[in-house]
């Protein structure tokens, strides 16, 4: 009987050590820089280019996946690509958050604790991104950045968002919206022209963060945009964002171990007299 109790104690100690070890090491990182180019096309679609720079904190789990929130589910997965330091990465449609998004698998190029790394992601085609404006001759273009759980993020994020408007749209025709209230950078966009001759609006904040979704918008004439491309806005889905399902390992270990320990205890206590005689 004493021997069986000792074995039970060892099992409990093992479960506790695995659980506490997993809890002691978690995700802890900085999104040091985020640059997003948002291309609005005259066919009513959108393209995105994300440049995300991470600093993984010491004693943290390696960054193996980078999740990316997308405006909606009307994207083409084959037109999404990612790379790190020139190395091609795979992109998966399933990720740890709720709502539309993808996960970039860093694979052998994961960012270890204490190291830095940058990931470049291109989304070539997203539909149903324009909504009706209060002016029937205009379309409204609204975009929200990707974001991560505040429990994983430390430090500030240098965020830059650049809107590239459809070719032929003049600066004087564009009506900019104010960024959301959480935005601490310039509320009036910096205006310029890109290498393709398209008008650009830029918002920048050196002291933003990686756990807030910043929203920007503008309206422009819809005369050259197909009417079918302008849709009513869908209800906003709340995204509870995590970096990987691995964070739930301690809970899984406990849930699996409890019934096993209970069964062992039942077997050792089923015949106490017999166990006592054998000792």
Q: What is the pLDDT of residues 125-153, one digit of tens each?
A: 999 999 999 999 999 999 999 999 999 99
pLDDT of residue 97: 74
For the chain, give the mean pLDDT. 84
Q: Which residue has the higher pLDDT, 18 or 206?
A: 206
Locate 211 and state its tokens.
């756990």
With cut-offs at 50, 70 and 90, classify the pLDDT of residue 20.
Answer: very low
With cut-offs at 50, 70 and 90, classify the pLDDT of residue 237.
Answer: very low
pLDDT of residue 246: 41
Question: How many angstroms separate the most distant Cα atoms in the chain?
Answer: 95
Per-residue pLDDT reduced to its tens digit, 73-120: 999 999 999 999 999 999 998 877 777 999 999 999 999 999 999 999
Closest CA to 166 of 262, 211, 230, 260: 230
Per-residue pLDDT reduced to its tens digit, 25-47: 588 999 999 999 999 999 999 99
Classify strands 130-132 and 138-144 as parallel, antiparallel or unpaired. antiparallel
How far apart CA 221 and CA 175 sit, in angstroms, is 9
pTM of the model: 0.77
Q: Which of 88-97, 169-178, 179-188 has the lowest mean pLDDT?
A: 88-97
How far apart CA 113 and CA 55 sit, in angstroms, is 8
Residues 214, 180 contacting (CB under 8 angstroms): yes
Q: In what order do the strands lie in the sheet with 87-92?
A: 65-69, 101-105, 87-92, 80-84, 116-126, 46-56, 29-40, 157-164, 199-208, 190-193
Region 229-247: mean pLDDT is 56
Residues in Cβ contact with 140 at an 8 Å cutoff, skipping those fewer than 6 apart: 130, 131, 132, 133, 177, 217, 218, 219
pLDDT of residue 270: 55
Domains belonging to the chain, first-starting first, are: 2-24+249-278 (no CATH), 29-243 (2.60.40.1730)
């Amino acid at each position: 009987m004493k021997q069986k109790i000792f074995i039970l104690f060892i099992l409990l100690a093992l479960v506790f050590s695995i659980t506490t070890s997993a809890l002691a090491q978690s995700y802890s990182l900085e999104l040091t820089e985020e640059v997003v180019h948002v291309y609005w096309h005259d066919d009513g679609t959108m393209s995105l280019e994300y440049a995300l720079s991470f600093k993984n904190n010491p004693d943290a789990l390696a960054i193996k996946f980078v999740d990316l929130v997308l405006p909606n589910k009307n994207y083409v997965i084959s037109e999404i690509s990612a790379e790190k330091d020139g190395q091609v990465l795979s992109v998966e449609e399933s990720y740890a958050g709720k709502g539309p998004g993808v996960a970039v698998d860093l694979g052998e190029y994961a960012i270890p604790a204490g190291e830095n790394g940058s990931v470049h992601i291109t989304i070539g085609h997203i539909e149903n991104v324009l909504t009706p404006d209060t002016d029937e001759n205009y379309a409204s273009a609204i975009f929200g950045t990707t974001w991560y759980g505040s429990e994983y993020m430390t430090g500030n994020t240098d965020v830059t968002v650049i809107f590239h408007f459809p070719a032929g749209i003049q600066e004087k025709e564009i009506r900019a919206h104010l960024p959301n209230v959480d935005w601490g950078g310039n509320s009036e966009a910096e205006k310029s022209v890109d290498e393709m001759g398209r008008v650009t609006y830029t918002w920048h904040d050196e002291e933003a963060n990686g756990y807030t979704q910043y929203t920007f918008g503008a309206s422009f004439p819809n005369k050259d945009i197909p009417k079918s491309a302008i849709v009513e806005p869908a209800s906003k889905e709340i995204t509870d964002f995590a970096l990987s399902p691995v964070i739930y390992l301690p809970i899984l270990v406990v849930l699996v171990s409890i019934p096993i320990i209970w069964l062992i205890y039942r077997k050792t206590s089923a015949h106490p007299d017999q166990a006592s005689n054998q000792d």
